[in-house]
Amino acid sequence: MDFENTNTLTLPVLPLRGLVVFPKSLIHFDVGRKKSITAIKKAMETNQLIFLSAQIDASDSEPKLIDLYKIGVVAKVIQVQKLPENTTRIVIEGKYRAKIESPVFDKGCMMAEVEPIPDAITPPTSRDTALIRAVREQFERFIEIAPKTAPDIIFKVALCKSTGELADYITANIPLDYTIKQMILETLNQYDRLETVLDELMNEIYILKIEEEITVKAKMRIDETQRDFFLREQKKVIEEELGEDDNPSDEAADYADRILELKLDEKSQETLLKECRKLMKMPYGSQEASVIRTYLDTVLDLPWNTSTKDKIVISKIRRELNKTHFGLEKIKDRIVEQLAVRKLSDKQKGQIICLAGPPGVGKTSIAKSIANAIGRKSERIALGGVKDEAEIRGHRRTYIGSMPGRIMAAVQNAGTNNPLIILDEVDKLSADYKGDPTSALLEVLDIEQNYKFTDHYIDIPFDLSNVMFITTANDLGAIPAPLRDRMEIIEINSYTREEKFNIAKKHLVPKQLELNGFSNKELKFTNKALYTIIDYYTRESGVRTLERYIASVMRKCAVKKLENGEEVFKIDDKAVEKLLGNKKYLPDTYSKKNEIGVVNGLAWTSVGGELLPIEVAVMEGTGKIELTGSLGDVMKESAHIAITCIRSHANVLGVDPGFYKNKDIHIHAPEGAVPKDGPSAGITMATAIYSALSAKPVRCDIAMTGEITLRGKVLPIGGLKEKSMAAYKHGIKLVLIPKLNEPDLSELDPAVKEKVDFIAVEDFTEVVKLAVINPVKVSEKAWNDINLPVEPKASPAGVRQ
């Protein structure tokens, strides 16, 4: 063998990824790394020789000489072809084994001094011949079961004479891992090398046999499935020939009969029958058949033609509503009106009513009472926190685990097509990337559209026009305008003190007696005890906390009954304080004597009305105005309007016209930590300012509410019912209200109207006459003259204005 007449050669090195080249093998592969292409160019510029060695780690993209196996092959580059994307394809021929001795520095590529490793030439022995025959025999067995093996390989194997040549050729042409091939390349003893190849051949044959067995078993399973399919098809043909395919027990036919019995519209009926035809063609155990069965069962279980007959007897309905709920007269009247029209005309479709009000006032419970009163089934859908549109409209059947939306599920659970559905907390819906459920409700809550409501899962229209929807909400501002427009809003105000007392006495106490195991003879609440809990332990719009405290009292009595043997409990105001502890809320206090600069105002809060005293102090100063008491912007503006009104009418009211220059005015609303806002304290502030400036006291038994203008006019306010209850609770004898609020007096509690007098005023002069003691007499003409526009004086002749 010619080694270029030298022991070592300096050659460019080409690292190979997952590839091992053997001597006398002709192979082509693509090269893309920059250093590798440079190494090929350098080889072509000299003697076309290049050293090929496999990388130890095939994933390394920038290997160094130390990262290569030391033993490789010196090869000759036969052909170089440039390909697109900076790739070069080369054809090389392996020459002989060689070993890296030392690296050689070169900027462009890897270079190394390599020492050739010649194969020892020895005459073949009988041992070698036996090994060669065994390897050829195993190789023939390998070719028989190996897929896609070239037929000329066997012929070339027969031409190999030496053990080393045969080992190299077979290893190069069978699919082995590159690490195994490298191990064979590094085996220099020819006999040992061929023995290793024999071991690897036998191992590969064993693996290929196992693969063949697995393939045969898989094929047999597939054949069994196909066999079952063909048998089922043959069975269908035989049943058709015998006329047994019309058997009513047949599943698809049974579904078809049920569909025809529903007498749906033509399009819906055809859609469902199409699903039946699909089911008929499918194997019983297939997954898609199971999906179709679930769909048909869901659709057929809907109450397409089932409805309940309304039992509308107006007197009975009104009695039932009064029995379960105290107050709420507006809601009761509205429900009775709708049911009366329903009784007279079948054309009246289901109405959508929205009960809006603070928590705990009975919105959900009255909706359930309505259903019981008219004999309809009711279903409640809690919408709080729902973000997914599919919760309303359902999931499409293309998804795994799809199901109808909550609307259709509620109709299905009710079992009738005209139930009363309560959509609770409709203002708590929110949108996210899955859609906007409030938009999905637009069709549901529109009586002009919901007669053809299409759920994504059901996929055929269902008539919701007979369903009576009642929604509840705490905050109307949180409901989108298009959805709010589809509902009739009925606002429920917070309960007054008297209403809470009656609810507690007639409903809450009997309910808790039953729940806690007492009879009305064993445990009794006095009226004063209930008022004590309402006034000093609760401050809420509804009655939930009131019910909790009543239950708490009964639980403590239950402990005493079991521990001490007490049998009868009379709960009065002292017992309440002993059982519940110190009072949580102290009553609003107001002065019991007439004072200067102090006026009782009335304020509305979400938990009822409150007494709001306004205090004004006047001091020597430079005209500064100080406002305190956590006042909002609107209330601050009311204070400035009141000062301007007094200042513009100073002469008529008998106060110093220059007070805005030499007096400092401080206006304060007690309980400074509680935020306050709104214009309804306008006349209260004006009266207090006038009292402080004129040094005239204001009656302590009078309260007032109303907005004031710069001209002293009194404008209307809201929340009169709650404000009047606050005046009644604190023993106020007279309340001044705006003239335009007179119609609202009809809605006041009878107990309030009996104990409190109401006087309607139009002008600030009327307020002064009634509230201030010994006021300056102000004539209506003098007051109004100040508000008249000033006529411009005539200009002298010849003078241009």
**d(Cα 709, Cα 632) in Å, to the nearest integer?**
18
Buried b / exposed e along 411-421 (16+ C-beta atoms within 10 A)? bbebebbbbbb
Give every CB contact of residue 250 below 8 A, 6+ residues apart in sequence.
none
Instruction: Give me the catalytic one of 713, 723, 724, 729.
Output: 723
309 is catalytic: no
Q: Is 612 exposed, middle or buried (0-12, 13-18, 19+ CB in 10 A)?
A: buried
524, 569 in Cβ contact below 8 A? yes
**d(Cα 635, Cα 675) in Å, to the nearest integer?**
10
Cβ-based neighbour number of residue 159 at 10 Å: 9
**d(Cα 212, Cα 181) in Å, to the nearest integer?**
25
**d(Cα 659, Cα 520) in Å, to the nearest integer?**
65
In order of 312, 363, 420, 614, the CA distances from 373 in angstroms are: 8, 16, 11, 49
Backbone angles phi, psi at 577, to 5 degrees: -65, -35
**How many angstroms from the chain centroid is the CA of residue 15?**
57
**How many angstroms from the chain centroid is the CA of residue 677?**
34
**d(Cα 98, Cα 117) in Å, to the nearest integer?**
5
**d(Cα 270, Cα 275) in Å, to the nearest integer?**
9
606 is catalytic: no
Residue with tokens 């898989």: 218
Long-range contacts of 740-747 (CB under 8 A, 24+ apart): 740/715, 740/716, 741/706, 741/716, 741/717, 744/720, 745/720, 747/720, 747/721
Backbone angles phi, psi at 663, to 5 degrees: -130, 140
Q: Is 212 exposed, middle or buried (0-12, 13-18, 19+ CB in 10 A)?
A: exposed
Instruction: Give me the catalytic one of 53, 541, 680, 724.
Output: 680
**d(Cα 399, Cα 388) in Å, to the nearest integer?**
15
Which residues carry out catalysis? 680, 723
